[in-house]
Amino acid sequence: DVGEKFPSHIIIGADTIVALEDKIFGKPQNFEEAKNILKTLSGTRHRVITAVALYRKEDEKLMTDYEVTYVTFKKLSDEEIEEYLKNEDFTDKAGSYAVQKVGDKFVEKIEGSYDNVVGFPTEKVKKMLEDFSSPEFTVEIVDVALPNNWGVGKSDNFIIFVPDGVYGDKVRVKISKRSKNFSFGEIIKIEEFSPFRKEPECPHFGSCGGCIFQNLTYEKQLEIKENYLIQSIKKIGWVNVDNVEIIPIIPSPKKFYYRNKMEFAFGESEGKVVIGLRERSSPFKKYSKDVTPLKECLIFSEKVKKIFSIFTEFANSHSLSAYNPFTHKGFLRHLVLREGKRTSQLMILLVTTDGEIPDLPYLGEEIVKEISELRSFYWIINNQIADVVSFEKKNHLLGKSYIEENIGDMKFKIYPQTFFQPNTDGAEILYNKIVELGEFSGNEKVLGLYCGAGIIEIFISKYVREVAGIDSNPVNIFTAKENCMINGVENCIFYEGTVEKVLKKRDFSEIDIIITDPPRNGMSGKAIRSVIKIGAKKILYVSCNPSTFARDVKIFEENGYKLKKLCSFDFFPHTAHMEILGVIEKVI
């Protein structure tokens, strides 16, 4: 045993395999096996995987990792294969070949480390040796840094961020990145498991970027989110929370299958088109925007399994390519799914770059045959560089142009671009809380900013005298007016335009209460100044971002208003996100 002979030395071990889809090829035993392996690899894009282990006996320290390189072979003739095998020693070669020997004769393209294909990934090993020698600490995870979900540990009052560390874990970490005030630690070993740690429900948890908290008890998730909100109010908003009524965070009625909308991405794996979500980002590696292939999505809908199968089979059988957000090449970009949680109605939006979808009638027939809940199917064309869903051109292919959803005793239409809170059950709780904290007498004139499809405005219309809504998206305004008609609401009016322009153009001096529900980046300074100028007695501020909410509250407090009540809602279980409702009242 090498470790026994050299206990203080670092022992390096490595071995390589070749993989094609679910087939694994090691070192061949004889000529015929080698020939069959090369015939199988001929004309394919396969993986060369090298596993590396570093070990030191004296402290029983072990580190493992692996490197993957993609190799594309040309189409090989039997004569070329036999000629190579007769002249080369293949018995110690994974996949029956040595890349340095076959060269351009066999290889069309190599994606990744060439040294890895040779059998020893030097850059990977170099990085592992650096990490192996990095200082190590045992720390307890005493907090979680949101929205990144980095565990927070301390060593001699020095902060160490530990990605994937669960609150309450005691972990051994190696320092991988260091700055003046903090460092990042990679977990080597969990020495003591947290009492709050739980087994994730989803098989994709860890690699997929959709969830970060499935390995944490739900009660602790709520506690961490609420604390994050309060700390944001203190540190960013400079608010004395002793003077604020903090209403305990309200949990989501459903912990799984709660979202009514998801934007999935197309990607490629093993030369096949897949559908999933972008990988989880990490401070330890460059973000690649790779897609984690999903078979299911526990925060959206059980319908995903069937839908993904239809679209991946269609894409692969018609040789369609997935869009690459770095090279900006490829055809299939996103698959957007919207589901009425209370109506079961489904809308599918297939997003591509310019081009033609072959055999489109067949695709439509397959969807209708397999998905009985389908009510609307669109083909969206998006050529923008940004990795977002943009509606440059809409092609309505099947069914109605909308789906419907119910909130309370009201019915709402949802079009492809309609904004609708992504947690239907949570949204109804929020809207009822707005009514409760708004303390409406029935005589108020209310103004809704960033109103979207007017859901809040229509919902509260029976409790107030008049409601006006402002939104810059013409689709939202159209939908809001239509939803008024559907529900027989006659005391709502909606204005299209930016909040800044509409507030400047129109007189809202008689408004009693303002409800503002801005996007994640919050309200602009100009919009806040216009709201302050109106002088409404109460502002109900709905937000999905504690940082920008706290920033805006600070400005209101500097201009005659005070945050009186604060309530949060867990619209997004197992993620870092939440919804916020703040009651801001005029005191001067």
Q: What is the pTM of this model?
A: 0.82
**415 domain-assigned:** no
Which of 9-13, 89-93, 566-570 has the lowest average pLDDT? Answer: 89-93
Active site residue 544: yes
Kind and range of the H or E run holding 228:
helix 218-235
251: preceding bond cis by omega (within 30 degrees): no
Q: What percent of the chain has pLDDT over 90?
A: 81
Instruction: Say if residue 112's pLDDT is above 80.
Output: yes
Contact 265, 333 (CB under 8 A): yes
pLDDT at 43: 94
Same domain? For 247 and 304 the reply is no
Residue 109: pLDDT band with limits 50, 70, 90? very high
> Structurally, how many domains does the chain consist of?
4
pLDDT at 270: 81
Same domain? For 87 and 163 the reply is no
Q: Could you report the per-residue pLDDT of 471-501, keeping only the tens digit for each?
A: 999 999 999 999 999 999 999 999 999 999 9
Computed over every residue of the chain, the mean pLDDT equals: 93
Q: Could you report the per-residue pLDDT of 154-184, keeping only the tens digit for each?
A: 887 789 999 989 999 999 998 877 777 888 8
Rounded mean pLDDT of 367-396?
A: 93
Q: Which of 76-90, 150-164, 448-462 has the highest mean pLDDT?
A: 448-462
Q: How far apart are CA 26 and CA 33, in angstroms?
A: 11
Q: What percent of the chain has pLDDT over 70?
A: 99
Host domain of residue 568 = 222-254+420-586
Q: How far apart are CA 332 and CA 325, in angstroms?
A: 11
| CATH code (residue 578) | 3.40.50.150
**210 domain-assigned:** no
pLDDT at 287: 65
**545 domain-assigned:** yes
pLDDT at 398: 94
User: What are φ and ψ of residue 352, in 5° steps?
Assistant: -135, 175
Q: How far apart are CA 296 and CA 89, in angstroms?
A: 45
Q: Could you report the per-residue pLDDT of 310-336, keeping only the tens digit for each?
A: 999 999 999 999 999 888 899 999 999
pLDDT at 137: 84
Distance, CA of 235 to chain centre: 27
Rounded mean pLDDT of 100-125?
A: 92
**121 domain-assigned:** yes
Catalytic position from the list 208, 297, 544, 567 = 544
Q: Could you report the per-residue pLDDT of 282-308, keeping only the tens digit for each?
A: 767 776 678 999 999 999 999 999 999
Same domain? For 425 and 567 the reply is yes
Residue 2: pLDDT band with limits 50, 70, 90? confident
Instruction: Say if residue 50's pLDDT is above 80.
Output: yes
Q: How far apart are CA 259 and CA 319, in angstroms?
A: 31
**331 domain-assigned:** yes
| CATH code (residue 153) | 2.40.50.140
Residue 455: pLDDT band with limits 50, 70, 90? very high
Rounded mean pLDDT of 378-404?
A: 93
